Structure 1
Amino acid sequence: MSIVDQAAATGSHTYTTRDVAVAGGPLRVGLWEPTTPAATSPDGAPLPAVVLVHGITASHRAWPAVVSALPGRRVLAPDLRGRGRSNGLPGPYGMAAHADDVAAVIRALAAGPAVVVGHSMGGFVSLVLTHRHPDLVARLVLVDGGLPIPLPPGVPDGATPEELVRALLGPAIERLTQTFPSAEAYREFWRAHPAFAEWNPVVEQYVDYDLAEYPRAGSSAGGGPADGPVAGPVLRPATSSDAVAADSADSARGDALPAALAWAAETSLPITFLRAPRGLLDQPGGMYPAGTVAEWERRLPRLAASEVVGVNHYTIIMAEPGISAVAAAVG
C-alpha cells in the first residue's frame, strides 16, 4: 500500500480497492471495512452498507473523513467513469450511465440495498440511480447536489455546454488541462484555492490521488521519447475533461435528471438535502440559494433540507461540522 493509500485508511476502518466490471471495463471502487463491531439497528439487525458518490471532478478519495465518522459501517465509494482510476473507461458518460455503474457496484459489493450519499454531481447520479434502480437504495442523502443548479448571474438560458462548465466550475475545470512538475507543485496549486484555507491531511491525500501520470507527447510505448534521452511521464489531474463536459451538458439538459425529479415528487422514500452556505470558491450564497432549496422542498414532499453552517461546497464533506452532518444524515 502506497503512502497516499495509507492516508485513506482511518482508525475506524481498513481501506482497500476493488475493480467492478461495468460497460467498457473495470470501475475502481474504494472499500472501507469497519474495524469495530458492525453497527446494528435497535432490533439488532445489521445496518446497510453506505455508498458514497463523489462530484464532477473528484474521486472516491474525497470521502475518508466521512468514513471515519461511520464506525461499524461498511462503506463503498467508486471512482466514477472518467475520474480517478476509472478514467480510462470510455463514454458514453451522463447521469444514467453513472447511475448504472453505481448500481453494478452495489450489486457486486453490498449485501442488499444501501444508503446512498451523493455530493455535488454525485447527488444527480444518486437521484437518477434511485429512480432507475429503486430496489438498491435504502436511504438517499444529497449533499449540496442533486437538485437543478441555478445559472450564475450573467449566464444566458441558451448558454452552450462549454459556457455552462466554465460558469459553474471555473478553476476546477481549468486545471484539467494543466501539467505539474511534481506532487508538491500540485499541492501548492490547491493550497491557493480559497475553498481550502484550512489545509488538512484529508485534503492532501485527496489532492495527491488526483494527480496521475500520463505518457509524454511524442513518447514511445515505454514512456520515453522516440528519439533522444528518456523523459519522465507528464503529471496532470486524472479527471477526463471530455467526461466533465459531457456530464455538465447532461445534468443541465439531459433527460435522466428531469425524469428522476418527477419520480421524486411521487416517491415515498425520504430524501435528505444538506446545503453548504458557501460555494466552490468559498463565496457566500453557495451553489444553491436558500430560496431555491425551499422551493424544491415545496415541490418534493419527501425532501427534507437543512443548512450546514460554516462550510463551503468542498468542506461540507472534508471538515467539521460538515462531516458530522453527513454522518447524521446517513443514520
Structure 2
Amino acid sequence: MTPADAPPIVFVHGTRFSAGQWSTQLASLREEFPVTAVDLPGHGARSAQPWSLSAATEVVAAAVDSLGGRPAVVVGHSLGGYVSLEFARRCPERLRGLVLAGASASTRGPWATPYRWIAGLVPRIPADRLTRWNDRLLLRHYPRDVVEATIRSGYAFHTLPAAWGEVLGRFGTDALRPVAAPVLILNGEKDTVFRSAEADFARAHPDARIELIPRAGHLANFDAPDAFTDAVRRFARQLPVAG
C-alpha cells in the first residue's frame, strides 16, 4: 500500500469519554495514515451541544471530509460503535471499512434493561463525585500516559441518558446487514457483555470477521493499546485498494 492508498481513519469514542480516548492510537498511526478522532455532541469540546444520533453521524461525516474527503475507516467504541453503525447506514459512500469495538451486543430486548436503569441513575449522582470515581478507576487500572488525555478532557455524564436513550432499542444483531464496506469486530476477550452477540453480528455481513484481544476487557484500547492499534492497522492495510 502506497501513502496515496492509505485510507483515512476516524476514531469515535465511547460513553462519557471524548476524542482523548484515542490519544495512543493517534500517536501510533499518524505517520502512516491520515487520522483524527471526534468529540461527539455533548462530549469533550462539544459538551454544550445537544445530543442526537443524527448530529453524531454528521460529526463523523465532517471528520471524514476533513481528512481529504476520501472514504475512511471508521473505528467506533461502545456508544461510538453504534454511532458508527448509523453512519455506515446513512453515508455508505464515505465508508471504506468499519471497526466495531465493544459494540457487538444487541441493544434490544431484556439486555437493555440494566442500561436504562443506569442511564436514569446517573443524573441523580453529583457530577463531581462521578468525576472523582472515574479518575480513580482509570488511574488504578491503566498507565497514566494512556488515560491522561481522557481524564483531562472530562466526562459527559450529562449526555449519557439522552445518548443511550436513543441507542437502546435501535440496534439488533442484523445491524451490519446494510453495511457495504468490510467490517472488523474487535473485542476484548473478557468483554463478555458487549461481545455477547458478536457471532450473530458477523453472520449478518458477508465480509465481517471477529478478532479478540487477549486478556482485554471492554476498554480494550486502554487494556492493550499496542494490540488494539495493530489490529486497526492490519485491517486498514488489508482493505482493497480504492477505485
* TM band (smaller chain): 0.7 to 0.9
Q: Give how far 1:58 is off.
A: 0.7
1:117 is paired with a residue whose SS is strand
Distance in 2 separating the partners of 1:175 and 1:85: 24
Answer yes or no: is the 8 Å Cα contact 1:277–1:286 preserved in 2.
no
Letter in 2 for 1:246: A
Answer yes or no: is the 8 Å Cα contact 2:100–2:184 preserved in 1.
yes
* Between structures 1 and 2, the one with greater helix share: 2
Q: How many residues matched?
A: 235
Higher RCO (C-alpha under 8 Å, 6+ residues apart): 2
Aligned to 1:103: 61
Is 1:310 the counterpart of 2:215 in the alignment?
Answer: yes
Distance in 1 separating the partners of 2:117 and 2:59: 28
Distance in 2 separating the partners of 1:197 and 1:250: 30
Aligned to 2:162: 246
Distance in 2 separating the partners of 1:286 and 1:158: 11
Aligned to 2:229: 323
Q: Give how far 1:311 is off.
A: 1.1
* Between structures 1 and 2, the one with greater strand share: 1
**For 2:188, which of 260, 265, 276 is the aligned residue?**
276
Aligned to 1:52: 11
2:152 is paired with a residue whose SS is helix
**For 1:82, which of 42, 50, 54 is the aligned residue?**
42
The Cα offsets for residues 180-236 of structure 1, whole Å up to 9 and x where unpaired, read as 6xxxx96x74464279523231212221221xxxxxxxxxxxxxxxxxxxxxxxxxx
Q: Give how far 1:246 is off.
A: 1.6
Over the aligned positions, Cα root-mean-square deviation in angstroms equals: 3.2
Please list, as runs of the form range in 1=range in 2, the aligned pairs for 1:188-199 lying within 5 A after superposition.
189-190=133-134, 192-193=136-137, 196-199=140-143
Relative to structure 1, is the Cα distance of residues 146 and 54 closer, same or farther in structure 2, using a 3 angstrom cutoff? Answer: farther
Aligned to 2:240: none
Q: Give how far 1:158 is off.
A: 8.2
Is 1:140 the counterpart of 2:98 in the alignment?
Answer: yes
Large movers: runs of 4+ above 4 Å:
173-176
Aligned to 1:121: 79
Distance in 2 separating the partners of 1:157 and 1:55: 18
Higher Rg: 1
Q: Give how far 1:165 is off.
A: 3.0
Distance in 2 separating the partners of 1:174 and 1:196: 24
Q: Give how far 1:121 is off.
A: 1.0
Answer yes or no: is the 8 Å Cα contact 1:273–1:306 preserved in 2.
yes
Relative to structure 1, is the Cα distance of residues 190 and 320 closer, same or farther in structure 2, using a 3 angstrom cutoff? Answer: farther
Aligned to 1:216: none
Please list, as runs of the form range in 1=range in 2, the aligned pairs for 1:119-198 lying within 5 A after superposition.
119-145=77-103, 147-149=105-107, 156=110, 159=113, 162-163=116-117, 165=119, 173=122, 177-179=126-128, 189-190=133-134, 192-193=136-137, 196-198=140-142
Aligned to 1:73: 33
Q: Give how far 1:161 is off.
A: 6.7
Answer yes or no: is the 8 Å Cα contact 1:118–1:126 preserved in 2.
yes
Aligned to 2:241: none
Give unpaired runs (5+ residues) of structure 2: 238-243
Normalising by structure 2, we get a TM-score of 0.81
Relative to structure 1, is the Cα distance of residues 164 and 206 closer, same or farther in structure 2, using a 3 angstrom cutoff? Answer: closer
More displaced, 301-310 or 126-135?
A: 301-310
Q: Give how far 1:174 is off.
A: 7.2
Answer yes or no: is the 8 Å Cα contact 2:105–2:193 preserved in 1.
no
Answer yes or no: is the 8 Å Cα contact 1:142–1:271 preserved in 2.
yes
Answer yes or no: is the 8 Å Cα contact 2:101–2:185 preserved in 1.
yes
Letter in 1 for 2:16: T
Distance in 2 separating the partners of 1:84 and 1:266: 30
Normalising by structure 1, we get a TM-score of 0.61
Relative to structure 1, is the Cα distance of residues 278 and 193 closer, same or farther in structure 2, using a 3 angstrom cutoff? Answer: farther
Give unpaired runs (5+ residues) of structure 1: 1-40, 211-236, 280-284
